[in-house]
Structure 1
Amino acid sequence: MEQIYQCQDLDEVREQIDRVDRALVALIAERGIYVRQAAAFKHSREEVEGGRRVDQVMRRVERLAGELGADAARTAAVYRTMIEYFVADEMAVFRARAGKD
């Protein structure tokens, strides 16, 4: 992780949080684009739900959380929620594609 800026007051803290939020939202949007692309390569509902892949991602994320000093349980909870929504989005894309075949 890059060096953390030492804020001098609450306004600076909020500025830094806003900066981080903007970066997080941009990365979530980018991740969503790839999730929707993934639907084009999957041939079944089971592939879209991706239990094994979800487990793999969760193990990697929990390991990364430890390496980067984040709370592993909190990070895992955020990721599980995010993945749930992305799987639902991917399923909608998959169903729409399957309906056109």
Structure 2
Amino acid sequence: MMKKEKCESLEQVRDRIDHLDQELIELIATRQYYVDQAVRFKRTAEDVQSPERVQQVINKVRQKALDVGTNPDLVEMLYREMIQHFIQRELKEIRP
């Protein structure tokens, strides 16, 4: 994880944000890689959609957001969107 540091210019701020965006995209791609593996262990649409697992993940990321001092509602919204995308992706594998 990139160390937080005070920036001395707008250009430096933008450079740090661009670097973080690259890291976030790589992390999302890695998460997708593991989601793609998980589908091998799921047999039904119910296994894929698993509302209790979704809620477990949401609860966990909301708490992590609070722990680091960021907005848990924003984090939840981002995760719900990402999870929904991955569920749709998995459903295509289960029932092409």
* Shared fold, TM over 0.5: yes
Q: Mark the runs of 5 or more structure 2 residues left unpaired by the alignment.
A: none
| Greater relative contact order (Cα < 8 A, sep 6+) | 1
Where in structure 2 are the equivalents of 1:36-55 lying within 5 Å?
36-55=36-55
| Residues 52-85 of structure 1: CA deviation (Å, up to 9, x unaligned) | 1000000000000000111101111111111110
The corresponding residue for 2:61 is 61
Check conservation: 1:39, 1:93, Cα contact below 8 A. Answer: yes
Query: What is the aligned partner in structure 1 of residue 19 from structure 2?
Result: 19
Aligned twin of 2:85? 85
Shift of 1:3: 4.3
Contact kept, 8 Å, 1:36 with 1:93, in 2: the verdict is no
What's the TM-score, normalizing by structure 1? 0.89
Identical-pair percentage: 36
TM-score w.r.t. length of structure 2: 0.94
Hey, which bits of structure 1, 4+ residues long, moved more than 2 A? none
Post-superposition offset of 1:2:
6.3
Q: How many residues align?
A: 96
Gaps of at least 5 residues in structure 1 are 97-101
